[in-house]
Amino acid sequence: MPLDPVDLDDDLRRSIVTTIRLLAADMVERANSGHPGAPMGQADLALVLWHEYLRFDPDAPDWAARDRFVLSCGHASALIYSLLHLWGYDLPLAELKRFRQWGSVTPGHPEAHETPGVETTTGPLGQGVANSVGMALAAKMLDARTGVDSDDFRPMSQRVFALCSDGDLMEGISAEAASLAGHWGLDNLVWLYDDNKITIDGDVGLAFSEDVAQRFAALGWRVERAEGHDHHSIRGALKAAEAETRRPTLIICRTRIGWGSPNKVDTAGVHGSPLGADELAATKANLGWADRTPFHVPGEVRDWFTASKQRKKREHANWESAFHGWRLRNPKAADAYDALWSTEAPADLVERLIDALPEKPAATRKLSAAVLQAAYAAVPALVGGSADLTGSNGVALKAAGLLGDPRRDDAPADFAYTGRQLHFGIREHAMASLTNGMVLHGGVRPFSGTFLVFSDYCRPAVRLAALSGVPNIFVFTHDSVFLGEDGPTHQPVEHMWALRLIPGLVDFRPADGVEVALAWAYALSEADGPVAMALTRQGVPAIERPKGFEPRDVWRGGYAVVEHADPEVVLVGTGSELHLCVEAAAALTRQGRRVRVVSMPSVALFERQDAAYRDRLLPRGARVVTVEAGVTGPWAAIAGRDGLRIGIDRFGASAPAGVIAERLGFTGAAVAARVTALLGQAGR
């Protein structure tokens, strides 16, 4: 079969695109659920992009140098499943027939951990395009750190393409992400905007009338236009994007939703509902489909995709050969490449991070800042920054260099793509999603930082990281009402538990330097999903631990810091409230009470321990008292019915931290008094 994109026979080209369209329509019809309109309208874009421009190997979906394709409008999942199946990924036709069914690998929206060839989990609009910016940034950083200017071959020259919708561009996160892409000059990034003028409610003009081209031009993007069903027009726009060397590119592709459907094309009715048997039959007739059998793939189409796959595999083989030669010519760059792509942390990482702790106690955000310098030295792939709170969050990487586009006329002298210190500006939504994209790309280990109260802005991306098993690192500081005078707008109360309630997210609220070091060590060496750590603004004392303590006990989520073999009461503290438990225990012990104090830096990790360990730490015969400066409701799972939950079930106040602590009862004496009252009631 001919493989030259321009000379491909028109009849065969038409048959290929029709196959893509109708597989999508058949999937939705079989499931009686889904979105046929977008895939039918996007099929032409997809064929030109995937066949002529996208570098990939279906038999090596994790090839590091592949181009990335992000279907940001994840409701069009039937499109990507059709493409993956036809190009020979491990996605048999049987899975297309099980679209949206229990146990299939063709869920309603694409999930990166479920389906081979799906780069990121999409569906919540705007998240995918923001992920794509992170992927493009990661590729740019890797190219800068491994490329050799004297060598014609650059191993990290991959590009990132995202297919997005009106909805993606309406969501605010896309504006934040696009702003950063333009600022960073990510010329390896292309968004194809499926401009079909239809949303669920009807014509896009009901709520969207801005000039998208002017907006993106103002953000520093190249803007191209294409007729979304004209392959020559699509090819020309992609060729222009490929030639761009300074800016990301937006291609505005005018398409018709439900293309091929004689009665539902250009209507909201084809957006999120099956065509229906009669309209599907009419569509197949309209497209000249002689065989109306569901999921029909003509033999000549199957043969063409088989041949195209072989071409893709040859491109990969050629790359591997060139890569091998590059490694021999550039051993230092090859070593850097290997170090960046390695997922292994140093075996002595825990010890290195503990050794980096300052001698004097401090706020856990400052202890984290010290630990981070050692992590930066130990893990070459570690990069990151914050949403304009670098100093406040303690996430400055000393001597790391600033990540930025050195070609900008207004660029600081030390801007470079080799920089490892990121500045996201005040863009928490995009920051969290961008770093997800960086992790998914591979070769870098990013972290991001902001105040805990602003985790609300990050939550959609944190949730998707947990859903996809993405080991991203989210640093949240100023973790309680004790940040003080800024008041309740900035004082998190419910946020720690809001994060803990996300399945698959590992929480850390460390009490002192040892727990801070172990939180970072876990995130960099043990995590199989996202980690969120909450750090204090105010100083905290170092915790004295009993003999036999091993630092990795922190990874059990809960462990004893004040021991008693037969406690009548167990005080469970987290973060800055742990030392209050220690103080209260001393007072209670003087009263003759039998007290154990448990630090619980990670509820998620504690819940992963076996029942025997949990029961040993929190004996069933003892009263359990939880102490944390936040909402108390979820602590019932730890404290039990007859326990006590000391916390804050109200918003904070604008006042110095010490005053807030006194007024809200967060002193060692106040905790001891409440426990005494509890035990007194128990004795009656």
pLDDT digits (tens, 9 = 90+) for 113-140: 999 999 999 999 999 999 999 999 999 9
**CA–CA distance, 278 with 578 (Å, rounded to integer):** 67
**Helices (H), ranges, 87-120:** 93-97
Taking Cα atoms as reference points, which of 429, 498, 381 lies closest to residue 145?
381
**CA–CA distance, 290 with 276 (Å, rounded to integer):** 19
Mean pLDDT of 440-469: 98
Q: Are residues 528 and 603 in the same domain?
A: no
* pLDDT class of 1 with cuts at 50, 70, 90: very low
* pLDDT class of 8 with cuts at 50, 70, 90: confident
**CA–CA distance, 148 with 156 (Å, rounded to integer):** 11
Instruction: Burial-class residue 286 by CB neighbours within 10 Å (0-12, 13-18, 19+).
Output: middle
128 located within any domain: yes
- Residue 429's domain spans which residues? 349-535
Backbone angles phi, psi at 369, to 5 degrees: -60, -40
CA 244 to chain CA mean position, Å: 28
* pLDDT class of 682 with cuts at 50, 70, 90: low
Q: What is the pLDDT of residue 636?
A: 98
Q: What is the pLDDT of residue 681?
A: 66
Q: What is the pLDDT of residues 31-47, one digit of tens each?
A: 999 999 999 999 999 99
Q: For the sheet containing 160-165, what is the strand order?
A: 68-71, 160-165, 189-195, 249-254, 222-227
Structural domain ending residue among the three candidates 535, 559, 577: 535
* pLDDT class of 7 with cuts at 50, 70, 90: low
- pTM of the predicted model, to two decimals? 0.97
Domain count, the chain: 3
Q: What is the DSSP string of 589-605?
A: HHTT--EEEEE-S-HHH
Q: What is the pLDDT of residue 6?
A: 46
Residues marked as catalytic = 428
Q: Are residues 379 and 421 in the same domain?
A: yes
Q: Are residues 531 and 556 in the same domain?
A: no
Which residues are CB-neighbours of 308 under 8 A, at least 6 positions away? 3, 51, 87
Q: Is the dihedral of CA 618, 620, 623, 626 positive or negative?
A: positive
Taking Cα atoms as reference points, which of 2, 4, 6, 83 lies closest to residue 42?
83
* pLDDT class of 343 with cuts at 50, 70, 90: confident
Mean pLDDT of 10-25: 97
Q: What is the pLDDT of residue 426?
A: 98
CATH of the domain at 444: 3.40.50.970
* pLDDT class of 684 with cuts at 50, 70, 90: very low
Q: How far apart are the first and last CA of the chain?
A: 89
Q: What is the pLDDT of residues 44-99, one digit of tens each?
A: 999 999 999 999 999 999 999 999 999 999 999 999 999 999 999 999 999 999 99
Name all contacts of 11-15 with Cβ < 8 Å and 24+ positions apart: 12/300, 12/301, 12/304, 13/47, 13/231, 14/288, 15/298, 15/300, 15/301
Q: What is the pLDDT of residues 489-501, one digit of tens each?
A: 999 999 999 999 9
Q: Is the dihedral of CA 201, 432, 442, 115 positive or negative?
A: negative
Q: Are residues 206 and 135 in the same domain?
A: yes
Question: How many other C-beta atoms can be found within 10 angstroms of the C-beta atom of residue 95?
Answer: 18
Q: What is the pLDDT of residues 467-481, one digit of tens each?
A: 999 999 999 999 999
Mean pLDDT of 520-532: 98
657 located within any domain: yes
- Is the Cβ–Cβ distance between 569 and 556 less than 8 Å? no
User: What's the Cα-to-Cα distance from 187 to each of 52, 88, 131, 249, 438, rounded to whole Å?
Assistant: 19, 30, 16, 7, 16
**CA–CA distance, 574 with 588 (Å, rounded to integer):** 19
79 located within any domain: yes
Q: Are residues 454 and 574 in the same domain?
A: no
Structural domain ending residue among the three candidates 489, 507, 535: 535
Q: What is the pLDDT of residue 344?
A: 87
CATH of the domain at 609: 3.40.50.920
Q: For the sheet containing 473-477, what is the strand order?
A: 415-416, 402-403, 421-423, 382-386, 445-451, 473-477, 531-535, 506-508
**CA–CA distance, 405 with 137 (Å, rounded to integer):** 11
326 located within any domain: no
Whether 635 has a pLDDT exceeding 80, the answer reads yes
Q: Are residues 635 and 665 in the same domain?
A: yes
